[in-house]
Amino acid sequence: MNEAVLRRYRRSVDEQTPLPQLIFIDGGKGQLSAAAAAMRALDLEQIMLVGLVKPPKRHNEISHLLIHGREETPIPFDRNSLAFRLILQIREETHKTAIEFHRKRREKRDFTSELSEIPGIGEKRKMKLLREFGSIERIAKASAEELRPFVGPKAAAEIAAHFEKQRSLAATK
């Protein structure tokens, strides 16, 4: 949490973009303390930090809020209040965005490492294939003929042979 907050707001400070007045932190005292330490390091202590605390083993709920500097007096939530629903929607949207970001990052990492093993496939061809096919799985299933318009005949044959070899190795295990 410390590193994420530090990177995010250091970039805002460096680029001189507008800073928020309030930051929600998905977590309790520990996460809130880590975020506060990052903000202190950036001399941004004037920004209010609020921790969204979940009940144990119920990750889709918020039981109360913690305001940095007043952690000893948590604010309970009325589950039927409009404020609760708004904060819950904000939390769900940010959680969804974070998951999508990590999936894309993982897919790109997997994609890059898999195709890096094939001779003659550089960054431009990797990116072109990913744009056209959408995933490494779809590239792996594509025939040389399907790959040819995007990378040329020689590279298409290399890619198809690579994945065919992988399929045959997996079948023998």
Which of these three, 60, 77, 94, is where a domain ends?
Answer: 77
Q: What are phi and psi of 39, to 5 degrees?
A: -65, -35
pLDDT tens for 132-166 read 888 888 998 999 999 999 999 999 999 999 999 88
pLDDT tens for 83-123 read 888 888 888 888 788 888 888 777 666 555 677 788 888 88
Alpha-carbon distances of 166 from 114, 117, 159, rounded to whole Å: 11, 12, 11
Strand order in the sheet with 64-67: 22-26, 48-53, 64-67, 75-76
Same domain, 124 and 161: yes
Q: Residue 102 corresponds to which tokens in the numbers above?
A: 């990590």
25 and 50 Cβ atoms separated by less than 8 Å: yes
Average pLDDT of the chain to the nearest whole number: 85
Which CATH number goes with the domain that contains 167? 1.10.150.20
| Least reliable range by pLDDT among 27-41, 75-89, 130-144 | 75-89
Same domain, 108 and 159: yes
Same domain, 70 and 115: no
Q: Which pLDDT belongs to residue 21?
A: 94
Stated as kind and residue range, the H or E segment containing 52 is strand 48-53
Question: What pTM does this model have?
Answer: 0.56
| Domains contained in the chain, number | 2
Whether 85 maps to a domain, the answer reads no
HSE-CB of 40 using CA atoms within 13 angstroms: 9
Q: Which pLDDT belongs to residue 11?
A: 94
Which of these three, 43, 77, 111, is where a domain ends?
Answer: 77
Rounded to whole angstroms, the Cα distance separating 95 from 84 reads 16
Whether 98 maps to a domain, the answer reads no
Same domain, 7 and 58: yes
Q: What is the mean pLDDT of residues 1-21?
A: 94
Domain of residue 128, residue span? 103-172
pLDDT tens for 85-94 read 888 888 888 8
Whether 88 maps to a domain, the answer reads no
Adjacent-strand bridge partners of 51? 25, 66
Same domain, 71 and 109: no
Same domain, 63 and 121: no
